[in-house]
């Protein structure tokens, strides 16, 4: 089985940053916090790439959830 080799990021080292990312992806940050977090991402390309992939993965799962729900409703 293939597992992508993912780089270790600051999110793995710092729980506060990991929390920040979770809230960012859930849309639970205030505007000023969003700006500050995006500023951090701008300065850290590895973390930015990771955050973008996590956001896209979350959207893919959202699509899956909606599609599964619709299929079950049609069944």
- Interface residue with other proteins, options 34, 42, 46, 53 (CB under 8 A): 53
34 near other proteins, judged by CB under 8 A:
no
Dihedral angle of Cα 44, 20, 35, 6, to the nearest 10 degrees:
30
44 near other proteins, judged by CB under 8 A:
no
For residue 37, the minimal CB distance to other proteins (Å) is 13
Tokens standing for residue 49: 């790439």
Q: CA 31 → CA 1, 68, 69, distances in Å? A: 41, 33, 32
6 near other proteins, judged by CB under 8 A:
yes
How far apart are the C-alpha atoms of 55 and 27, rounded to whole Å?
Answer: 11
- Interface residue with other proteins, options 33, 35, 46, 56 (CB under 8 A): 56
CB 17 within 8 A of CB 23: no
The binding site for other proteins (CB under 8 A) comprises 1-4, 6, 11-12, 15, 18-19, 21-22, 25, 50, 53-58, 60-65, 67-69, 72
């Amino acid at each position: 089985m293939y597992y992508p080799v993912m780089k270790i990021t600051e999110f793995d080292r710092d729980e506060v940053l990991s929390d920040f990312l979770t809230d960012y992806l859930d849309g639970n940050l205030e505007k000023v916090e969003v700006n500050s977090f995006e500023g951090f991402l701008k300065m850290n390309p590895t973390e930015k790439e990771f955050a973008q992939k996590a956001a896209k993965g979350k959207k893919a799962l959202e699509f899956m959830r909606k599609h599964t729900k619709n299929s079950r409703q049609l069944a």
